[in-house]
Amino acid sequence: MDKFLTKDVFGIQRDIPLNYIEREADKVFIDSLDRRHHVVIFGSSKQGKTCLRKRNLNDKDYITVHCDNKMDLYNLNITILKQAGFTVQVSERKTINGKAKVKVGFGWNLFGKADFESEVEGEKGNEKEYKPLELDPEDVNDIIDALKSLDFQKYIVIEDFHYLKDETQVDFAIELKAFHENSDLTFIIVGVWLEENRLIALNGDLSGRIKSVNADEWTDENLEELIRTGESLLNIQIPDEAKKHLIEKSLNNVYIVQEVCYELCIANKLIEQTDSIQILNCDDLDILLSKVISQHSGRYYNLITNISEGFQVTELEMHKWIMYAILKAEVEKLENGLKRSEINTLLQQEHPRKHLLNPGNLTQALKSIASLQVKKNTIPIIIDYDNSNLKLSIVDKGFIIWLSDQNREELIQELGVN
């Protein structure tokens, strides 16, 4: 029998790791689908959102749409139609908003006889002739009708929803209500944020029609079980004290735990399942932890620079001062999220132009912090703002761990705040 490979058990990979464990998020996800709710899977970066979805769905049961910051509702809906199997071509006719309508057919035969009855044009005896369905991609009713014409019954996964522009997120949140009421379609939205009811905040009518799944929550017990499962598969043993130390230092980040366990195995020259139980030497655990975190040092340095520069040079330099507040905050504060009021208090004390500040300056800068990162190609995002709870969140815990190991005063001096 083939032996299990270390790289298939520990570490981050494209496929589901062999040591995957079920936790509360899996139960909530399955229950939500059973009740035919739309589902939002949210959490920090690299915390298992995609794995959770892949583990609990068969590949043939869903289509996936990957979002980017260039998509508006028009392009998003066209992408959904394409992933559903439609052939799409721009029409000469216009929508009421002045955009081009599109013609959709199924398969390659867009302008001949369609492979499904999209729209009857006429009849000659018993022979029917068809033309492609012409629709407005911004009209949710047209999208529903098109998908119904295919008898489309798969789940629709919207990945990286956080990359969409704010107005597109709002537009789609409004559409979701219509999808829920006027069709049997179920959407699974995946995004990097820590706000449980973000889509309900975008559209209050989604209350009761959408269920949020927190993929960010990894308890000590979850991570201990994850490590134990990997130990069993590879026939190894990591001392209990080393496990506890790793979980504590990782801030319960599953990505860091998985990567450090992988590096620990490689350091012990273990690339596959052993024939007899091997106890791993964990003397270099802290060194390996620093190695995993330092792999992202360049990205974190760039984040500080990019946020500080903002979208353009401004008198108040609000994004630079938000980064200043982050660098000044204690680790515990960053873990729990920085309240807008706390940032505002700091700025009122230390900003050189505090007499010009008003609450709107800070709020506007905080709301745009995710889109600023996308524009500067900081992907996935590291910092997000929870507008419902008025809190700035670090959605990449590796950044917090990295910061705790840096000379913060030197980083602040590089900001050039004055």
- Please name the residue that has the structure tokens 């760039």: 302
Tell me if 293 sits within 8 A of 402, measured CB to CB: yes
SS (H, E, C) 92-151: EEECCCCCEEEEEEECCCCCCCCCCCCCEEEEECCEEEECCEEECCCCHHHHHHHHHHCC
- Residue 335: helix, strand or coil by DSSP? helix
Distance CA 77, CA 98 (A): 17
Question: pLDDT tens digits, the chain, 418 residues: what are they?
Answer: 689 999 999 998 888 999 999 999 999 999 999 888 999 999 998 999 999 999 999 999 999 999 998 999 999 999 999 999 998 888 777 777 778 788 888 654 444 444 444 443 444 444 434 457 889 999 999 999 999 988 999 999 999 999 999 899 999 999 999 999 999 999 999 999 999 999 999 999 999 899 999 999 999 999 999 999 999 999 999 999 999 999 999 999 999 999 999 999 999 999 999 999 999 999 999 999 999 999 999 999 999 999 999 999 899 999 999 999 999 999 999 999 999 999 999 999 999 998 888 889 999 999 999 999 999 999 889 999 998 899 999 999 999 999 998 999 999 998 888 6
Distance CA 54, CA 57 (A): 5
Q: What are phi and psi of 389, to 5 degrees?
A: -100, 5
Between β-strands 120-124 and 133-135, what pairing exists: parallel, antiparallel or unpaired? unpaired
Q: What sign results for the dihedral spanned by CA atoms 212, 213, 217, 221?
A: positive
Q: How many CB atoms lie within 10 A of CB 258?
A: 25
